Structure 1
Amino acid sequence: MPALIGFPLTRRQRDHNGRLQLSYWLRTATGAHEVVIEGEAAVAFILQSDGAHVAELLSDLPGCQLRPLSLSSLNHEPVSALYADSLREWHEALGRLQQAGVALMEEDIRPADRYLIERGIFASARVIDDASGPRLQRAEFEPPLRILSLDIETTLRADRILSVALQSQGYERVLFNGNITNSPAVVRCHNERDLLQQLMAEVRRFDPDLIIGWNVIGFDLRVLQQRAEAQRLPLCLGRDQEPVRVEQTRTGRWYARLNGRVVLDGIDTLKGATWQFERYSLEFVARELLGRGKLIETPDDRGEEIQRLYREDPQALVRYNLEDCRLVSEIFEHTELIPYLLARARLTGLPLDKVGGSSQAFDNLYLPRLHRAGYVAPQYASGVDGLDVPGGFVMESCPGLYRHVLVLDFKSLYPSIIRSFRIDPLGLALGTHGDAPPDALVPGFHHAIFDRRHALLPDIIERLWQARDEAKRQGNSALSQAIKIQMNACYGVLGSRVCRFFDQRLSGSITLRGHQILQQTAERIEQAFGHQVIYGDTDSVFVWLGDDWPDRDTDRYGHQLASELNAWWQKQLRERFDIDCSLELQYEAHYRRFLMPRMRHSEKGSKKRYAGLKVQPDGSDQLVFRGLESVRTDWTPLARQFQQALYERIFRDQPWQVLLQETVRAVRAGERDGDLVYRRRIRQPLAAYQRNRPPHARAAQMLDDDRRHRDLPPVVRVGDSIAYLMTVNGPEPQELLRSPLDYQHYIDRQLLPVADTLLPFVGESFERLIAPQQELF
């Protein structure tokens, strides 16, 4: 019988008959199968010098054993492994050792994760069954995943489920709680308990691997669990018939556990794949990506409309419920989220539903190599701290309105610095130990020295780099994006205290080297080529060719400039450090017009804020904004539309004064009221806004107060976007607008700052141009 090969959907660890048991649900070519592994132990490492003390502390725990190893800590001290046969004794042992101040290493790695990590199992596994029971081995496999989109509709208080929609390719079903005509797509349920039972049966029949939705954990599954508890009914949606668990972490994030099935929330998954939207409501994202939205188009009273449809037009509610499921499915397909998650899993070993996980991904890539090299990781985040480690380099800008600015960009600067300068946790430990030959050492910053012979991270980065280049050649955008995120995360985690390898000598040797490279690149451009560098930011330099540049073969010149600088850097690194140069400067863009604004109320140039007319491959121009009002969601549509129109005309040397004056007139006349809405996100609970209550928090409080007055539960949650307008009586939510709008506020706070970012560079001012209009009012 051929060996079973599958993709691990879920992993679990628990005690069974007093011993640790690991469980993995694998999606195979023929369905899902659970693999249960016995006989493994939980593992951590301690210093051998602490062995006698540890043995004494754990003497009454027979399931715990110490075993000396040939491994060392990064401080070159011999270590022993601490094994525990059960989770119960494991947690007891860790508690005692932590209380006694014993140094522990890698104690936080879950046994179910360590089992896969140490075997190099990232995305697929082969089941080997022998006399000792099943075990897993690394394999290659592309899982045929079954995906089910789920959405529920409830009463306003969410104290009763009205309907549940389930949708997949070629499959649609709505479970309706009440009177409705049955059809192939609609199942009439006698009551809520019947609906929940029908839901469990329907999920079993369809047997999905992935359940997707919009806020599907924090709302849909949470409400389903609450209503099932109210009905004293176990809600069994997993493959093992155990009740679903929906819980909230201390950081406010919701998670769900369904053994054998993975639940993916559309919002979190999009953010994790670096998709960015002004708002993350299903309505907004669907319209942005798909060009259509929900079937109820009035968001202000959507809840009340759902109740009306339930009473008066149940078939319309069915259509509405199903359309929400379809939108989620199409968003996942349009953005290639599932291929992205599968690519991420193959690269890093992260579970499909892991949100974030940069530090865990780093562990998965680095720890097996570290162990094979003869070392274990240090105590969690125990590296050198308290150093002056800046972020990415941001050059002082030269404010002005320019013609012909080139942008040169270092490809993956921080990963290329890691590769070139051999920056690595193990390399740092060996380089500073003092027994490496001088020709093996590469200097860093803050007295860091790296042993180039034993560096592990540069090789990891190089393999990722090559894989990304291949993914680009094959047009595999999902894999390319997953690799890009992971390459950048390899730098980010080293400077974060959530990473066990945190050490500011590592992060400082990357960022400070980046500063040096950007500064020396700018100096070389000015000295060797005679062009002024007007700005630099993290991995880019902005080169002004001059307003009288003839603009012939500018692209060719940009590529030539990058090529000559790359040759110069290769020579510099070989002569100064005797290392191969992985730095690669690329010609990224040509701006025919370019604005580098001043800081507000200052003559100094701003940072991370600019705009320009960017030349496209076909020779046309595209208006580009970075950090200015046009791309910031805390500015109104009025400000953003005005900025785009004003800048477009000035950049193209077209008349613009009438536009400015007409915009002010239209605002005062009430003709632009629809463009005056602010939208801001609630970042913390409303009760936390005490000393400083910004306008959006005040508007949100009005919404909640109004709902309480109507005997409804609060609606504003952390992360929600609040729409409000500024009135003569202060901020008011869009849904409860009662006062006249404060038009002067919008002229002073929205139009004036936008205009005066640019107008001084053409010798004008906003106030002078609108002065004649002011006399008319």
Structure 2
Amino acid sequence: MRGPQDLTAEAADISGFILTRQQLDTPEGISFQFWLKAGNDALPVTVAAQEGVFFVLEEDVDRIESLLSSQLKQTSASTPGWRLQSLPLKDLQQRPVCGLYSNSLTTYRQLTDLLQTYAIPMIEEDIRPVDRFLMERFIQDSARVRVSGPTVKLQPADIEPRLTMLSVDIETTMRADRIFSIGLYSDQLRKVLIVGEGQNEPWLEYVNDERALLQAFVREVQRCDPDIFIGWNVVGFDFRVLQERARRLQVQLNLGRDGSRIQVIESASGKWFCRIAGRVVLDGIDTLKGATWHFESFSLEYVSNQMLDRGKLLGQQMDEGLNRGEEIQQVYREDPRRLAEYNLEDCKLVWDIFEHAQLLHYLVERSRLTGLPLDKVGGSAASFDNLYLPRLHRKGYVAPVYASGESQMGAPGGYVMDSRPGLYHQVLVLDFKSLYPSIIRTFMVDPYALAEGTGTECDPGDLVPGFNHAIFSRKEAILPDIIERLWQARDRAKAEKNAPLSQAIKIIMNSFYGVLGSDVCRFFDQRLSGSITLRGHEILTRTKAKIEEQFGYQVIYGDTDSVFVWLGDDFPVDQAPQEGRRLEQFLNRWWQDEVQQHFGLTCHLELEYETHYRRFLMPTMRHSEKGTKKRYAGIRHFSDGTEELIFKGLESVRSDWTPLARRVQRELYRLIFSDTPYAGYLKQIVSQLKTGELDSELVYRKRLRRPLDEYSKNRPPHVQAAQKAQDQFAKEGKNRPFTAGMYIEYLITVNGPEPLLFARSPIDYQHYLDRQLTPVADSILMFLDDSFEALYAPQIDLF
């Protein structure tokens, strides 16, 4: 394969999507290497002889020069490898700053380590030089490459990339010290490579040994030439094991587009990263979480069943059960072709999940909006930096010293009203659309506007008061403009039914508050976060008061950006949506007038009528008459007459309750919301429970938060069950460590919790009556002057 220097000339005037970015030291300085996907081709581009830079306070320059001159080794007799330069920039406290430049990454790290040792403040030192290079040029996902002689310039570009994926999955021994097979799946390739003897088929290739398996894998990757690898825990397991086995067997795992090896690296926090020149590796679990998908379990078996309505070809508990490794080995010994089918289906499941959830589309749109690499996990702070910092620099400012903003001023989270518990008819939910971003946009909440408002001489008429002594300039702001552009882009995405783009924008906008309010982010300042959350408190409380004063309806609950309005049990069902729209229109006009009158600002707050509940339950806290927060249920009524049963925060949507309790709650609520008799149903459940007909629904399932041996003082039921399972395995001569993250399935028996695999004692049915069925039933029966015990007490002789 050709290297980056071979292809730079070919990239004289091309535009492409940035697949990978790399920085490395060369004799000429820091070199940035990019792989761009241009049409059907992937091309490398090198930008040579660059410097790294971060900022220091001008007041520290003399000390820094003295320190570096005495303690930092020079790169040559004539040049120290670093330089300090005055810049027309200042920090948000109006202090002048200088740029500290270095001509190598090694020197850059030495500079930051030394200044940190001597507690000298640094600014933006954590931004990688290659990322700053793109950020300062407003290059997001794509770049146009212009070559003039030895000079290579990159400019922003906007293209629709055609990216290719390859799903990868390996099957190994229990210790992952031997690879049995490697599955590959794409829209062009369906193949399993497996060690063993057998008849080759178009989709199945047998190889002699593990070395040949790895070599065949490299061959197939080079032939398929994917832009992106996908898989399930593909970095932390599959590629980590592939790299380790290749090292042990002395196989060159040259998967890079330039012929380079893969690099799988573990960070200090225990997170695994995979770098392959010209190729991206995406983990399905991390990508789903980043796109705000939520599942009780992120095992491939569970997610595929929930999303695709199908699962693995072998045992359904293999991902997290106790016999996964044994089953894999047994199938490999007895029927390797069956293992190959299982291997390939796992690849296809991951592929279909990516397709169904449009995950690649989401990541491309996220990259286009923020400049984040496709494989960046999380990245809310990096997104903010990419969008905000280059604009801040052009205003003459740099970011603050990391997390140095005002603290201990009181910046509470979202406002949650005390609820009024009860069983209601006709409840409306009115929701402020993207409340926190709209507050930022309306009230000019912005780090730069705060610096201008508090640190410079301004006309009082140009200032907007915030909270926690914050004062913002109404003329000088960056973040409101960023949000406005994102808001408009989201409206276009919704109109075009581009769900991944709409979701990406929503996540980005909603993350801005977290960046300003988290003490692990550079722009942390409770004057900023307080001016968002406390304004949100004010908006919700005033909205509640206006509804009750103007319309006479009672607001029974409010949560962060929503108010729940009870129209009255006798309010006509068919008129409720119209009333919701009337409330929406009135309140939006009222807020526009209020903001204009009191602040002279354009109001971007937008209240939407969201939901009509024909029946609605706001339960009490357990063992209390006080209403709950973030827990409710109701029958959502749609304009076409259809209905949907909704649960928020209750047992039926919590994985730590048994399937029986969750099923009973859903059915009981459905009956009561529909005014259908329920006593017979509950009595039947009690009878079936005692006769053992419901045993399969009594299994608890809970995750270990840390290794089993670290539970010393407090040993909850799932830990006790795990200990019994481990002891039983030890008796059988099997070494089964129970690690953090493993799910434990267990039953409560007359002898306490027992693991499902080894449960031998009779089930304690009274426990399930008292701890599972009674709580979920009484949470609604109390509002009907009834109780679960009163219904099943006449059958007590059964027990």
Q: Same fold (TM over 0.5)?
A: yes
Structure 1 stretch 13-22 or stretch 582-591: which is displaced more?
A: 13-22
- For residues 38-117 of structure 1, the aligned pairs below 5 Å read 38-59=48-69, 60=72, 61=74, 62-117=80-135
Q: Which residue of 2 aligns with 1:175?
A: 193
- Partners of 1:434 and 1:494 in 2: how far apart? 22
1:85 shift after superposition:
0.1
Specify the code of the residue in structure 1 equivalent to 2:13: A
Deviations 1:51-82 (A, max 9, x none): 22222222254110111111111111211111
Structure 1 stretch 665-674 or stretch 238-247: which is displaced more?
A: 238-247
- Partners of 1:116 and 1:434 in 2: how far apart? 31
- Partners of 1:190 and 1:72 in 2: how far apart? 65
Count of matched residue pairs? 777
Fraction of identical pairs, as percent: 56
Q: Which residue of 2 aligns with 1:682?
A: 704
1:461 shift after superposition:
0.7
- Partners of 1:337 and 1:739 in 2: how far apart? 46
Q: Which residue of 2 aligns with 1:28?
A: 38
* Secondary structure in 1 matching 2:154: strand
- Partners of 1:156 and 1:635 in 2: how far apart? 31
1:209 shift after superposition:
0.8
- Partners of 1:384 and 1:480 in 2: how far apart? 33
Query: 1:461 aligned to 474, 478, 483, which one?
Result: 483
Q: Which residue of 1 aligns with 2:148?
A: 130
Specify the code of the residue in structure 1 equivalent to 2:31: Q
- Partners of 1:700 and 1:233 in 2: how far apart? 40
Q: CA 1:365 to 1:712, structure 2 compared with 1: closer, same or farther past 3 Å?
A: farther
Q: Which residue of 2 aligns with 1:37?
A: 47
Matched, 1:202 2:216: no
CA contact (8 A) 1:724 1:734 kept: yes
Deviations 1:393-425 (A, max 9, x none): 000110111111111100000001101110001
* Secondary structure in 1 matching 2:532: helix
CA contact (8 A) 2:167 2:348 kept: yes
Structure 1 stretch 660-669 or stretch 715-724: which is displaced more?
A: 715-724
Q: Which residue of 2 aligns with 1:379?
A: 401
CA contact (8 A) 2:454 2:471 kept: yes
- For residues 312-461 of structure 1, the aligned pairs below 5 Å read 312-461=334-483
- For residues 455-534 of structure 1, the aligned pairs below 5 Å read 455-534=477-556
- Partners of 1:138 and 1:410 in 2: how far apart? 35
- Partners of 2:332 and 2:396 in 1: how far apart? 65
Deviations 1:89-129 (A, max 9, x none): 11111122222222211111001110110011110011111
Q: Which residue of 1 aligns with 2:253?
A: 235
CA contact (8 A) 2:86 2:99 kept: yes
CA contact (8 A) 1:426 1:456 kept: yes
- Partners of 1:434 and 1:208 in 2: how far apart? 54
CA contact (8 A) 2:123 2:398 kept: yes
CA contact (8 A) 2:577 2:639 kept: no
Specify the code of the residue in structure 2 equivalent to 1:757: S
Structure 1 stretch 270-279 or stretch 476-485: which is displaced more?
A: 270-279
- Partners of 2:152 and 2:758 in 1: how far apart? 62
Specify the code of the residue in structure 1 equivalent to 2:173: T
CA contact (8 A) 1:124 1:140 kept: yes
* Secondary structure in 2 matching 1:58: helix
1:364 shift after superposition:
0.3
1:298 shift after superposition:
4.4
Specify the code of the residue in structure 1 equivalent to 2:785: G
Q: CA 1:687 to 1:245, structure 2 compared with 1: closer, same or farther past 3 Å?
A: farther
Q: CA 1:115 to 1:714, structure 2 compared with 1: closer, same or farther past 3 Å?
A: farther
1:522 shift after superposition:
0.4
Specify the code of the residue in structure 2 equivalent to 1:638: L
Specify the code of the residue in structure 2 equivalent to 1:622: E
Specify the code of the residue in structure 2 equivalent to 1:244: I
Deviations 1:364-418 (A, max 9, x none): 0100110111100010111011122211100011011111111110000000110
- Partners of 2:61 and 2:149 in 1: how far apart? 34
Q: CA 1:255 to 1:731, structure 2 compared with 1: closer, same or farther past 3 Å?
A: farther
Q: Which residue of 2 aligns with 1:622?
A: 644
* Secondary structure in 1 matching 2:455: coil
Q: Which residue of 2 aligns with 1:184?
A: 202
- For residues 549-588 of structure 1, the aligned pairs below 5 Å read 549-588=571-610
CA contact (8 A) 2:21 2:130 kept: yes
CA contact (8 A) 1:148 1:208 kept: yes
Q: Which residue of 2 aligns with 1:613?
A: 635
* Secondary structure in 2 matching 1:52: helix
- Partners of 2:723 and 2:178 in 1: how far apart? 26
* Secondary structure in 2 matching 1:375: coil
Q: Which residue of 2 aligns with 1:10?
A: 20
* Secondary structure in 1 matching 2:450: helix
Specify the code of the residue in structure 1 equivalent to 2:565: V
CA contact (8 A) 2:280 2:375 kept: yes
Matched, 1:728 2:750: yes
* Secondary structure in 2 matching 1:745: helix
CA contact (8 A) 1:157 1:713 kept: no
CA contact (8 A) 1:404 1:590 kept: yes
* Secondary structure in 1 matching 2:409: coil
Deviations 1:337-369 (A, max 9, x none): 000000000011111111101000000010011
Using structure 2 for the length normalisation, give the TM-score: 0.95
Matched, 1:156 2:174: yes
- Partners of 2:723 and 2:239 in 1: how far apart? 27
- Partners of 2:120 and 2:387 in 1: how far apart? 27
- Partners of 1:3 and 1:705 in 2: how far apart? 66
- Partners of 1:387 and 1:755 in 2: how far apart? 43
Query: 2:271 aligned to 253, 264, 267, which one?
Result: 253
Structure 1 unmatched ranges of 5 or more: none
Specify the code of the residue in structure 1 equivalent to 2:340: V
- Partners of 1:182 and 1:324 in 2: how far apart? 20
* Secondary structure in 2 matching 1:663: helix
Matched, 1:545 2:601: no
* 4+ runs deviating over 6 angstroms: none
CA contact (8 A) 1:175 1:189 kept: yes
Q: CA 1:367 to 1:705, structure 2 compared with 1: closer, same or farther past 3 Å?
A: farther
Structure 1 stretch 594-603 or stretch 95-104: which is displaced more?
A: 95-104
1:169 shift after superposition:
0.5
Q: Which residue of 2 aligns with 1:266?
A: 284
- Partners of 1:655 and 1:433 in 2: how far apart? 68
Deviations 1:117-145 (A, max 9, x none): 00111100111112233232111112211
- Partners of 1:438 and 1:354 in 2: how far apart? 43
- Partners of 1:69 and 1:706 in 2: how far apart? 69
- Partners of 1:145 and 1:772 in 2: how far apart? 66
Q: CA RMSD in A?
A: 1.6
1:638 shift after superposition:
0.4
1:246 shift after superposition:
2.1
Structure 1 stretch 382-391 or stretch 748-757: which is displaced more?
A: 382-391
Structure 1 stretch 682-691 or stretch 615-624: which is displaced more?
A: 682-691
1:715 shift after superposition:
5.5
Q: Which residue of 2 aligns with 1:747?
A: 769
1:211 shift after superposition:
0.4
Specify the code of the residue in structure 1 equivalent to 2:465: P
Specify the code of the residue in structure 1 equivalent to 2:438: S
Using structure 1 for the length normalisation, give the TM-score: 0.98
Q: Which residue of 1 aligns with 2:308?
A: 290
Specify the code of the residue in structure 2 equivalent to 1:153: E
Q: Which residue of 1 aligns with 2:293?
A: 275
* Secondary structure in 2 matching 1:152: strand
Q: CA 1:669 to 1:745, structure 2 compared with 1: closer, same or farther past 3 Å?
A: same
- Partners of 1:140 and 1:208 in 2: how far apart? 22
1:708 shift after superposition:
5.2
Structure 1 stretch 722-731 or stretch 462-471: which is displaced more?
A: 722-731
CA contact (8 A) 2:705 2:740 kept: yes
Matched, 1:654 2:698: no
